[in-house]
Chains A and B, each alone.
Chain A
C-alpha cells in the first residue's frame, strides 16, 4: 500500500528524504526564526555571571561521543562564559570518551581567550567508578586525581594552590548525555553542599526538572535549544544558534506528518466500516 515507484522506495524512505531536506535547507538558507530564553537557562547564566573573578568551577564531561552535536555547543557556551569572566576551570571526565572531547573543548575555547594551561584551566582526565570519584573529590581532589591528563603532578600547577575539595569550588557543571548529574546531586550536592549545574541532552531534561523544582539545581541548560539560548545571552552565536532554524523546520515537518498520519488513519477506518 505504501509502495511508491516500485518495491525499493516506500513512504519511510520519502519521510527520511523530507527530514534531510527540512534540516539541510535552513542550514544553507537562513530563516532567522525567533528564540526565547527560558528561566532555567537564565538562572545558570546569572549564577555564572555573579561569580567573582578567579572563582573556580569544576566541569565534568560526562558523555560519550555519540551525542557530540548536543554536548559540544553546550560545553562551548559555558566555557566561553567562564573564560570571558576570568573564572578558572578544572575539567574532568567520568565517562571515558568524554576525556578526549573535554580536553579538546578546553584547549580550543581557552585558546580563544588566551588562557594558560595550569594557571587558568586544568584537565584532570578520566576516572572510572564515578561514585567513588565524586565522593573522593569531596575529601581531596588531589587524592583522586594525583596527576592530570598529561601525567603531571597536579600540585605543580598554580590553579591548584588554593583548591583542596568542593569547599573551594563555586559549582560543579556536569555536561552529560545520561543521568550523571543525579549522581553529582546524590554524592556531591547532598553530602558536601556544592552547587550543581546540569547541561544535558534534551532527552534528559524531564529527568532533571523535579530536581530543579526542588531547588537542588542552580538551573538547567538542556539540548541544542538550551545551548542556543545560552549563546543568545552571551551575545556570541555559535553552532547551536545556527542549528535552531533547522530544529524548528524539522519539528514543523514532524507535526505535519503526525497530522497527515492521523487523517489517513481515520479515513481508512471509515472506509473499512463502510
Chain B
C-alpha cells in the first residue's frame, strides 16, 4: 500500500476524531496542516514568483529597473522595526492606490452598470416580473431615510421575503458543498485506502 495514502488516511481520521471531542490526534493533524501550508506557500512564492519575476530579471537579464519594486517589497518588512515602521506605508500606499484605481472603474462597469442593464427587462414573462419585483423590494428594504410604513412597509416586507429565499438557497447550496467534501473524503478512504469500492 502507498505510504502517502496511508498517511493521508490517518490524518483524515485524526481530523474527523474532532467530531467526538477535541483530542491530541486532531491537534497534531491541524498543526501539520498549518505547517505544511505555510511552508508550501513560502517555497512556491520564491520559486514561482521571486525567482522568475525579480532575481532572474535583475541578476541574469540585467534589468535594473526591477530593483525598485524589489526595494519597495523589502520596505514592507520595516513594519517589524519600530523606528522605521512608518516607511512601510510607502509600498502599502502604492498598492492601495493602484488597487483602487484599477478596481473602481472595473467594478462600475462589470458590477454596477452591467447589473443595472440586466435588470431593465420587459415585463413579458414571470421570471422577469419576479427579478424586477425582487430588486425593487430589496432596495426598499435597504432604504432607511423613511419609515417602513404603508407602501414602503409592504415593499420592505416583500424585500425581506426575497432576502430569506436567497439566504435559504445559499444555505442549501452550502449544505450540498459540505456533503460533497464528505463524499470526497469517503471516496478516498473507501477506494484509495481500503479498496472497498471501484
Contacts and interface: CB of A to CB of B under 8 A. Distances in A.
A197 interface: no
A174 interface: no
Interface residues of B, number: 48
B173 A223 contact: yes
Contacts of B84: none
B106 A190 contact: yes
Contacts of B40: 96-97, 100
Interface string B52-77: 11001000000000000000000000
A125 interface: yes
Contact of B187 (A70, A96, A243): A243
B20 interface: yes
Contacts of B180: 69-70, 201-202, 223-224, 243, 247
Interface string A235-262: 0000100110011001100100000000
A42 B183 CA distance: 24
Contact of A185 (B56, B99, B110, B176): B110
A50 interface: no
Contacts of A185: 110
Contacts of A215: 118
A145 B51 CA distance: 12
A210 B174 contact: no
Q: Majority SS of interface residues in chain B?
A: helix
A239 B44 contact: no
Interface stretch (A22-30, A75-83, A106-114, A266-274): A22-30
User: Size band of the A side of the interface?
Assistant: 35 or more
B41 A96 contact: yes
A247 B111 contact: no
B176 A251 contact: yes
B197 interface: yes
Contacts of B131: 213
A127 interface: yes
A206 B166 contact: yes
A186 B110 contact: yes
Contact of B190 (A27, A203, A214): A27
A113 to B, nearest CB: 22
Contact of B169 (A20, A28, A146, A206): A206
Nearest to A225: B176
Nearest to A66: B181
A16 B186 contact: no
Contacts of B111: 182, 186
Interface in B144-198: 166, 169-170, 173-177, 179-187, 190, 196-197
A213 B121 CA distance: 11
Contacts of B52: 145-147, 151
Given A213-B131, A214-B114, 6 more contacts: A69-B183, A146-B56, A151-B47, A186-B106, A203-B174, A224-B176
Give me the 8 closest cross-chain CB pairs, A-B, nearest first. Answer: A69-B184, A214-B118, A190-B110, A202-B177, A224-B180, A186-B106, A243-B183, A202-B176
